[in-house]
């Protein structure tokens, strides 16, 4: 009903001016029906937002409808800011696949048939504004328009919408006449202009001198379609666009001398400047080109193309504006070099444009005496290719914004199990503490000599020797490789080998057993702690850069047999524990000979902070460790301590041990207990202490 009333007998109601651009702004009758449906069913307490802006009056809907037939009116709907998160969530809710581009989201076009799509993502949605453009049909509109179209498709169970569904509003007589005049003017100028290579040589040279393009060859001018409009002696730059690459407009550049004997250049466009959206040089860019040079004017584009052979395009309005509707045409390029001019105004514009285009792919040519604008650099005989190679990246590799990280953060929060890493099948308590084995981390593993560090890291053997061939065949299928280094090795050689393994064999985990053995005992005059710190830093950098987990076995310092190891017990300076993502300690109670002698303690877990300890049983027949039978031992948690706290804790432990020792000596002297009884009592006390600790 509303749709009929809005359209019934009104020639001017709901009429908007159509932009002077090759992409017509269209509006769907289906969309209008959906919009009015929403307004009709809006809750009573919500103020109505439909308003007709008429000449001389504003008519707001208050329960009655009034229209003015002789006024040009527009329907104003609420336009709320849209974010890229809103856009992505909406597309996911409609099961629409999308690619995350530099400044736009790419989705399959809904304006072509499914058979014609061929998995092409040819509809571009601006991440900032939500404006969309279909490069196959040149249909464009707002984010609200696209939402309405998708709802129409879903409601009517259509696979696609014809581009003709979005019908443009009828133009007034004045607007139609103006458009026709502009098209006729474009054709008149183009047909009256002539290529420069058709001019007499002396006249062509004079024109080139006027515009300071004497170094631009006629071949380059012809390739870009540049002509001369003789009546005003102006250069003509064409605008070819659309699926048929037809002539959409022209820009005229004229030269005029001043009283100060300087030459000024004036530009004029048809259609007018606000509707002129030409990326000059774009028709010459191939689909496979991944690099482009963006300049501030057409002459600079000619110079860059001739001197370097690189694809080059120019902005339609100089450095003052980068129209968002042109961003989809720049999405294919992985590298965009902005060479917009030789003044600081152009430099500031370059920094602004790089943020619109995406910092990661943009580089800037900084203005300077040795880096003038391209056409001037060509005239002065400079190497334009060298200048482009020396451009400054817009984004520093070590500086990122949250905008660049937000998708990665969201992915980690959404996929916590995958981010946690690969789970251990035989050590569920290690999964509970560390959550998994993750790429790109550095793990430091320590324990007393002979406690079983190598056994725990490499346990692979089975019990029955008669099944060796069977398990050996299985073992060969594992993506497992061994470095043939023994004894002291140069760290650079080791890292080169590791880098080769990661690149060639897709290795995800490297084990160094052990650090002191690799360092050797040579060059004792050099500070061994400084050497160790350098090696640990190199492994840390390797793990981060290659996304490969590195496990580094380091022997602890010499400790008393009856003292547990701490993070501070790792040999060397504190760098090992500082650089490590995880610190694992294989604890061993040398005074205990029964089950429960060994346990694995996690004293650092950078992933989520959980630490703890759980017992291990050693199976001698297979030379492997395993978690004990459930219920046999209880897990005890150990709070995370800083290194200073560890040191203080060690001092307290030493004092307690000394007090206990003194008491034991006094008791022995008093009772003169036999040695066997004393040992038995000591073992019993140890077991009781263990039970208390485990509980």
User: Coil, strand, or helix at residue 624?
Assistant: strand
Residue 49: CB partners within 8 Å, gap ≥ 6?
A: 39, 76, 77, 78
Which of 66, 177, 162 lies closest to 109 in space, CA to CA?
A: 162
Name which residue leads in pLDDT, 219 or 635. 219
Same domain, residue pair 334 and 396: yes
> What is the DSSP pairing of strand 392-393 with strand 362-364?
antiparallel
Highest mean predicted confidence (pLDDT) among 62-76, 362-376, 481-495, 506-520 = 362-376
Same domain, residue pair 412 and 293: yes
Last residue of a domain, one of 569, 599, 626: 626
Same domain, residue pair 292 and 200: no
For residue 518, what is the domain's CATH number? 3.40.50.300
Same domain, residue pair 179 and 253: yes
Residue 242 pLDDT level (bands cut at 50, 70, 90)? confident
> What is the DSSP pairing of strand 263-270 with strand 246-257?
antiparallel
**For 631, which DSSP code?**
T
Residue 197 in domain: yes
Same domain, residue pair 215 and 364: no
Residue 648 pLDDT level (bands cut at 50, 70, 90)? very low
Burial class (CB in 10 A: 0-12, 13-18, 19+), 105: buried
Same domain, residue pair 369 and 265: no
Long-range Cβ contacts of 73-79 (<8 Å, 24+ apart): 73/12, 73/13, 73/14, 73/15, 74/14, 74/15, 74/16, 75/6, 75/14, 75/35, 75/50, 75/51, 76/49, 76/50, 76/51, 77/35, 77/49, 77/50, 77/144, 78/49, 79/142, 79/144
What is the span of the domain harbouring residue 319? Answer: 283-419
Burial class (CB in 10 A: 0-12, 13-18, 19+), 279: buried
Same domain, residue pair 581 and 511: yes
What are 652-681's pLDDT values in tens digits? 444 555 555 555 555 544 433 333 333 444
Residue 682 pLDDT level (bands cut at 50, 70, 90)? very low
Looking at 461-524, list the stretches that DSSP marks H as alpha helix, in order from N- to C-terminal side.
468-476, 491-505, 515-519
Can you tell me the distance from the alpha carbon of 565 to that of 559, in angstroms, rounded to the nearest whole number?
8
Q: What's the number of domains the chain is made of?
A: 4
What are 573-603's pLDDT values in tens digits? 778 888 889 998 888 876 666 666 788 889 9
pLDDT at 379 over 80: yes
Last residue of a domain, one of 97, 124, 156: 156
Residue 248 in domain: yes
Residue 540 in domain: yes
Which of 310, 319, 312 lies closest to 386 in space, CA to CA?
A: 310
pLDDT at 31 over 80: no
pLDDT at 517 over 80: no
Same domain, residue pair 185 and 263: yes
Same domain, residue pair 92 and 180: no
Can you tell me the distance from the alpha carbon of 130 to that of 135, in angstroms, rounded to the nearest whole number?
16
For residue 316, what is the domain's CATH number? 3.40.1360.10
CB atoms within 10 A of CB 24: 15
Can you tell me the distance from the alpha carbon of 385 to that of 304, in angstroms, rounded to the nearest whole number?
8
How confident is the model at residue 188, as a pLDDT?
A: 94
pLDDT at 522 over 60: no
Residue 236 in domain: yes
Residue 227 pLDDT level (bands cut at 50, 70, 90)? very high
Angle between helices 528-546 and 491-505 (to 10 degrees): 10
Average model confidence (pLDDT) across the chain:
75
Residue 166 pLDDT level (bands cut at 50, 70, 90)? low
Its pTM stands at 0.57
How confident is the model at residue 326, as a pLDDT?
A: 93
Beta-bridged to residue 511, according to DSSP, are 551
Same domain, residue pair 299 and 401: yes
Same domain, residue pair 188 and 92: no
Beta-bridged to residue 235, according to DSSP, are 228, 253
Contact 591, 686 (CB under 8 A): yes
pLDDT at 644 over 80: no
pLDDT at 685 over 80: no
Mean pLDDT for 270-292 is: 92
Contact 2, 39 (CB under 8 A): yes
Last residue of a domain, one of 242, 276, 310: 276
Mean pLDDT for 156-162 is: 86
Highest mean predicted confidence (pLDDT) among 174-188, 618-632, 662-676 = 174-188
Same domain, residue pair 483 and 350: no
Structure token pair of residue 310: 């690189």
Residue 678 in domain: no
């Amino acid at each position: 009903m509303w749709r009929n009333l809005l359209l019934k007998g009104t020639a001017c109601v709901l009429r908007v001016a159509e932009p002077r651009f090759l992409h017509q702004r269209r509006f769907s009758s289906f969309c209008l029906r959906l919009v009015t449906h929403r307004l009709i069913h809006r809750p009573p307490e919500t103020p109505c937002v439909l308003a007709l802006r008429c000449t001389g009056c504003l008519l707001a809907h208050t329960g009655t409808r009034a229209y003015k037939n002789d006024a040009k009116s527009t329907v104003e709907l609420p336009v709320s800011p849209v974010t890229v998160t809103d856009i992505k969530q909406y597309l996911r809710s409609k099961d629409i696949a999308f690619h995350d581009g530099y400044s736009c989201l790419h989705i399959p076009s809904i304006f072509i048939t499914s058979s014609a799509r061929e998995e092409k993502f040819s509809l571009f949605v601006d991440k900032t504004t939500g404006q969309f453009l279909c490069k196959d049909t040149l249909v464009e509109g707002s984010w609200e328009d696209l939402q309405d179209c998708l709802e129409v498709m879903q409601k009517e169970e259509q696979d696609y919408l014809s581009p003709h569904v979005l019908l443009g509003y009828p133009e007034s007589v004045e607007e139609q006449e103006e458009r026709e005049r502009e098209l006729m003017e474009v054709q008149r100028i183009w047909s009256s202009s002539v290529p420069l290579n058709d001019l007499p040589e002396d006249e062509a040279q004079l024109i080139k001198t006027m515009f300071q393009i004497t170094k631009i060859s006629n071949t380059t001018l012809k390739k870009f379609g540049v002509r001369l409009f003789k009546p005003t002696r102006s250069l003509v730059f064409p605008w070819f666009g659309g699926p048929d690459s037809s002539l959409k407009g022209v820009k005229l550049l004229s030269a005029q001398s001043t009283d100060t004997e300087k030459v000024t250049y004036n530009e004029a466009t048809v259609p007018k400047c606000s509707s002129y959206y030409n990326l000059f040089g774009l028709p010459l860019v191939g689909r496979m080109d991944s690099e482009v040079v963006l300049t501030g004017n057409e002459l600079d584009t000619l110079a860059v193309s001739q001197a370097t052979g690189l694809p080059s395009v120019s902005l339609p309005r100089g450095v003052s504006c980068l129209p968002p509707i042109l961003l989809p045409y720049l999405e294919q390029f992985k590298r965009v070099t902005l060479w917009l001019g030789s003044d600081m105004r152009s430099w500031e514009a370059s920094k602004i444009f790089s943020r619109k285009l995406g910092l990661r792919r943009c580089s800037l040519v900084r203005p300077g005496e040795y880096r003038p604008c391209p056409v001037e650099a060509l005239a002065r005989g400079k190497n334009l290719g060298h200048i482009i190679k020396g451009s400054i990246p817009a984004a520093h590799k070590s500086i990122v914004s949250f905008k660049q990280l937000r998708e990665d953060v969201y992915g980690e929060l959404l996929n916590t199990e995958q981010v946690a890493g690969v789970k251990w099948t035989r050590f569920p308590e290690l999964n509970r503490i560390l959550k998994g084995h993750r790429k790109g981390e550095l793990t430091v593993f320590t324990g007393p000599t002979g406690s079983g560090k190598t056994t725990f890291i490499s346990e692979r053997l089975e019990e029955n020797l008669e099944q060796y061939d069977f398990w050996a065949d299985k073992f060969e299928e594992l993506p497992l490789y061994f470095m043939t280094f023994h004894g002291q090795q140069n760290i650079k050689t080791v890292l080169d080998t590791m880098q080769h393994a990661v690149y060639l064999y897709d290795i995800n985990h490297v084990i160094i057993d052990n650090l002191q053995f690799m360092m050797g005992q040579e060059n004792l005059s050099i500070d061994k702690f400084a050497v160790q710190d350098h090696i640990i830093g190199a492994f840390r950098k390797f793990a981060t850069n290659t996304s490969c987990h590195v496990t580094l076995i380091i022997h602890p310092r010499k400790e008393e047999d009856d003292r547990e190891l701490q993070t501070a017990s790792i040999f060397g300076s504190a760098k090992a524990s500082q650089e490590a993502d995880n610190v694992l300690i294989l604890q061993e109670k040398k005074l205990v000979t029964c089950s429960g002698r060994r346990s694995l303690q996690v004293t650092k877990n950078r992933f989520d902070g959980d630490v703890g300890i759980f017992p291990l049983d050693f199976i001698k027949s297979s030379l492997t460790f395993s978690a004990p039978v459930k219920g046999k031992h209880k897990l005890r948690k150990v709070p995370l301590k800083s290194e200073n706290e560890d040191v203080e804790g060690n001092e307290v432990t030493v004092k307690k041990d000394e007090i206990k020792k003194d008491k034991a000596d006094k008791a022995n002297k008093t009772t003169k207990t036999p040695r066997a009884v004393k040992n038995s009592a000591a073992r019993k006390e140890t077991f009781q202490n263990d039970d208390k600790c485990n509980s």
